[in-house]
Amino acid sequence: MLDTLMIRIVIPGDDPPQLQGSPHLERLRQAGEVTLYLDRPETVDEQIRRAEAATCLINSRSAIHWPGEVLRRLPELRMITTCGIGTDAVDLETASELGIVVSNVPGKTVPIVAEHALALMFAVARRAWHQTNAVKQGRWLGLDNFYLRGKVLGIIGTGNIGAEMARLARAVGMKIIAWTFNPTPERAKQLAAPFVPLDELLSTADVISLHVKLTEQSRGLIGTREFALMKPGALFINTARGAVVDTPALVAALNSGHLGGAGIDVFDVEPLPADHPLLSCEHVVLTPHNADQTPEGIDFLNAGVADNVLAFLQGKPQNRVV
C-alpha cells in the first residue's frame, strides 16, 4: 500500500452534488488527504491547479473533462475513477500512455437507470409535462395520449441497462426488438428478443430507447437519416449520452412533428444553456442527467468509487478500463 501521508485524493468539482456529505468520504480520509471542491473549475488552469497534486482523482458525475493535454500537466496523478460507468470524459489513450489507471463503477445502478428510462417513456407517452403545463395555465387540452401495451420498443444497445429496460417494458406488455454493435445468438436468447438491423429497428419501433455507451463508433449514431427512418409519431428516449445523437436533427424531428415526443436525460452540452434549442421544443421531457440520482443510487456509486480508490492504493486496482 502507498504511504498514507503522501496520498492526495481530489474531487475537483462535485457539481451536481454527489460525494459531499457521503459517509464514504470517511473511508477515503483513512487512506489519505481528501480535498473536495463544491463547484466546477471555471478555467482549464483552475482545473489543473485543483488536480496538480492529486494521486487519485474522483470525477464526480463526469462533470469535468480530462483531455490528453490536461493529463500531461498532472505529473503526480496515478489513478482516476469515474462516478459511474461512463468514461468518455477521460482521454483513455493518453491515460494509458502515462500509466494512469482509469476505473469506473459498472452495474451498480442498472435497475435505477432503467427505471428512469421507463419513467421518461411513460411521461412522454402520456404527454405529462405538456398537459400539466397547460392545466396550470388554465387550458384544458384534448391531446391524445400514447398507449404503450402492444407497441414495439426498439432497444439500441443491449448492455445491462438496455436488457433491464427490455425486461421492464415487456412487463408492461410491449414487444421488444433490439440492435447492438455485436449481436450473438446467445445474447439474443438472454435478452429474449430478436436482434434486427438498425434500419429495420428504426422503421419498425413505436418507441426507441437508446442505451449505447459513447465511443467514436457510436458518436452521432442517430442523426437526420435515422430520424427520417422512424415511424411518424414515434417516441424517442435517451439515457445514454448526448453525443450519440445529432441534437439539431433531434430538434428538427420534434419541431416538424415527425417525432411524437422525446424523453432526454443526457445532452450534448451540460448543463443546458438557456438558449439551447431543445428547451423550445414541445412534447419533450427533460431531466438533468440524473437517471441514477436516488438516495440508493448515489450511495451505490459513492461506495463503488471509494472501493475503487482503496483497491488501487492497496495495489489491487479493480474495474479497470485502462
Give yes or no: residues 141 and 230 share one domain.
yes
Give yes or no: residues 148 and 84 share one domain.
no
User: How many domains would you assign to the chain?
Assistant: 2
Is pLDDT of 127 > 90? yes
Give yes or no: residues 70 and 165 share one domain.
no
User: Which residues form the domain of 301?
Assistant: 4-108+295-313
Q: How many other CB atoms sit within 10 Å of the CB of residue 1?
A: 11
DSSP result, 187-205: HHHHHTS-B--HHHHHHH-
Give yes or no: residues 25 and 132 share one domain.
no
On whether the CB atoms of residues 261 and 283 are closer than 8 A, the answer is: yes
Residue 213 within a domain = yes
What is the tens place of the pLDDT at every residue in 130-174? 999 999 999 998 889 999 999 999 999 999 999 999 999 999 999
Is pLDDT of 1 > 80? no
Give yes or no: residues 231 and 273 share one domain.
yes
Give yes or no: residues 243 and 281 share one domain.
yes
Give yes or no: residues 131 and 197 share one domain.
yes
Q: How many residues does the chain have?
A: 322
Give yes or no: residues 258 and 167 share one domain.
yes
On whether the CB atoms of residues 263 and 237 are closer than 8 A, the answer is: yes
- Give the angle subtended at the CA of 260 by the CAs of 240 and 273, to the nearest 5°: 50
Give yes or no: residues 132 and 220 share one domain.
yes
What is the tens place of the pLDDT at every residue in 218-274? 999 999 999 999 999 999 999 999 999 999 999 999 999 999 999 999 999 998 999
On whether the CB atoms of residues 158 and 180 are closer than 8 A, the answer is: yes
Read off the pLDDT of each residue in 284-299 and give the average, rounded to a whole number. Answer: 95
CATH number where 39 lies: 3.40.50.720
Catalytic residues: 241, 270, 289
Residue 81 within a domain = yes
Residue 321 within a domain = no
What is the tens place of the pLDDT at every residue in 20-73? 999 999 999 999 999 999 999 999 999 999 999 999 999 987 779 999 999 999
Give yes or no: residues 8 and 120 share one domain.
no
The model's confidence at residue 216, banded by pLDDT at 50, 70 and 90, is very high
Alpha-carbon Rg for the chain, nearest whole angstrom, is 21
Q: 47: Cβ–Cβ under 8 A, 6 or more apart, which residues?
A: 12, 13, 41, 64, 70
Tell me, what's the pLDDT at 63? Answer: 77
